[in-house]
Amino acid sequence: MYRITFYVSRFKFHVMSFLNKNIINFEPKIIGLDLSDLSVKVFQIEKDGNRDVVRGYGSMDIPLGNIEDGRIINLDVVAEAIKSVLKSASAKKINSNKVICSLPESKAFVRIITIPKMSEEEAREAVKWEMEANMPMSLAEVYFDWQFLEVDENDKQQVLTVAVSREIVDSWMNVLKLAGLDVYGLEVESIASIRSLVDSNAVQGEISLIVDLGARRTSFIIADGVVPYFTSSIPFSSESINDAISKALNLSSADAEKVKVNNGIANAGDGNPIFSAVSPLIENLVMEINKTMDFYGEMSGRSQGINKIILCGGGSSMKGLPEYLHQRTQKEVLVGNPWVNLKTEDNLPTINKETSVRYVTAIGLAIRGMNYGN
C-alpha cells in the first residue's frame, strides 16, 4: 500500500507523495514528469551555487487512445514514450532515472474539511467519515491521507484531505517501472501547479484561482496562500479551441495553433473571425469560472472571494484571452509565471515564457525534486 504524505511550500507537511524514500546522497538528482492523456513532459532543475538552472526539459505526444481519462490502456506504448522523451530532452541531457510524477487531477479528490478541534488520534475516524461522506468513491477504492491545517475563528479544526483512485495509482506505478524509472513520489497536478505558480510567500487569505487550460480538459485549482482549497475540472480544452478555428478558417491544426497564439481574440469587438469561431467556447469557460468562484464563496463563507486568476497550460497562449477574461470576470487575470519561486538571478531560462507555461506541472514537480532532501 502506498502512503500519502503532505508537503506544500514552506509548510511542514507533504501533499500527495505516495512514496517517500530516504536518500543518502544530500544532492539527489530527481526529475519532474508530467503524464497526461496526450503527452508526457519532463523537467530537471539543478542548483548552481545560489542559482537554480534548467538542466533539461522535453515533451512528446502520446498517440490517442493509449491513455483515456487518466487510465493507461497500453502500458508498452506509454512506457516507450517516457523513455523517448527522456533521451531527447533539450538543453543538457537528463542525467537521472529518479522521478516524481504527476497524477491526473480528474482522478483526485482534494478538499479542506472542518471538524471539531480534537487530537490527531481522535481525528482519524472523524476525518475518514467526513471524507467518505463527501467523496464519489469509497475509502476502499482510494489511497488517501490528511493533514491538520490551522484552527479557524470558530475554534474548528481545518483538515486538508487528499485521495486518488487505487486503480490509477497502481497503473501509474506499473508504467513508470516499465520505463525503467525509480519513483520517489507521486503528486496530484494541483499541488505541483501551486508550487510552480503561487509565490511561496503568499499567506492565508490570498486566494488564487489557477485555470489550467489543457489539451483535453481544463482544471480549476483554488489556492488559499499556498494550500490547495478545492479542485475541479471541465471538458473545455485547448484542442476544442484549435478545432473551432481550424473549421471556421479552413486551416490545419498546426496553423490553427499559430493563429490562436499570434492573433487570438484580440480586438474581439471588431468583427474578428477568430472570436466569432471560439466565442461560444470562451463564454462557456467564463460561465464555469464564475460558477467556481461563486461555489468557493459559498463553501468558504469568505465575502472577499478570489483575488486573482492565473492561467496556464497550452490554451493560455491565446492572444487576448487574459484581457477578455478580466473584462468578463472583473478579476485580475494573468498568465502564470512558473519561475516565481526559482532563483534565476536575472539569467533567462533556456525555455521561453510561452513554452514554459505549458510545463507548469512538470516544473512544480522538478522544484520538489530539486529540494527533495531539504
pLDDT digits (tens, 9 = 90+) for 86-124: 999 887 889 899 999 999 888 888 888 888 888 888 888
Q: Please give the distance of CA 109 from its chain centroid, rounded to a whole number.
A: 13
Q: Is 264 helix (H, G, I), strand (E, B) or coil?
A: coil
Same domain, 249 and 265: yes
Same domain, 188 and 211: no
**pLDDT tier at 249 (50, 70, 90 boundaries)?**
very high
Rounded to 5 degrees, what are φ and ψ at 165?
-55, 130
Answer yes or no: is pLDDT of 85 > 60: yes
Same domain, 347 and 324: no
Q: What is the DSSP letter of 357?
A: G
Same domain, 174 and 244: no
Half-sphere exposure of 2 (CA within 13 A, CB side): 28
Same domain, 217 and 182: no
Residue 343 pLDDT: 87
Same domain, 111 and 25: yes
Same domain, 12 and 59: yes
- CATH number of the structural domain spanning residue 357: 3.30.420.40
Query: pTM for this structure?
Result: 0.88
Region of residue 210 (left: phi > 0; alpha: psi -120 to 50; beta: else): beta
Residue 13 pLDDT: 33
Residue 303 pLDDT: 64
Q: Which of the residue ranges 42-51, 129-138, 162-171 would you say has the lowest mean pLDDT?
A: 129-138
Cell of 14: 507533504
Same domain, 238 and 359: no
Which among 308, 275, 304 has a CA at the least distance from the CA of 289?
A: 308
Answer yes or no: is pLDDT of 283 > 50: yes
Residue 81 pLDDT: 97
Domain that holds residue 214: 207-335
Same domain, 276 and 163: no
Q: How far apart are CA 186 and CA 16, in angstroms?
A: 6
Same domain, 247 and 282: yes
Look at the block and give the residue holding cell 486551416: 251
Same domain, 36 and 59: yes
Residue 269 pLDDT: 67
What is the per-residue DSSP string for 101-148? EEE-GGGEEEEEEEEES--HHHHHHHHHHHHHHH-SS-GGGEEEEEEE
> How many structural domains are present in the chain?
2
Same domain, 154 and 16: yes
Residue 10 pLDDT: 32
7-59: pLDDT as tens digits: 433 333 334 444 455 544 556 689 999 999 999 999 999 888 888 988 899 99
- % of residues, the chain, pLDDT over 90: 49
**pLDDT tier at 348 (50, 70, 90 boundaries)?**
low
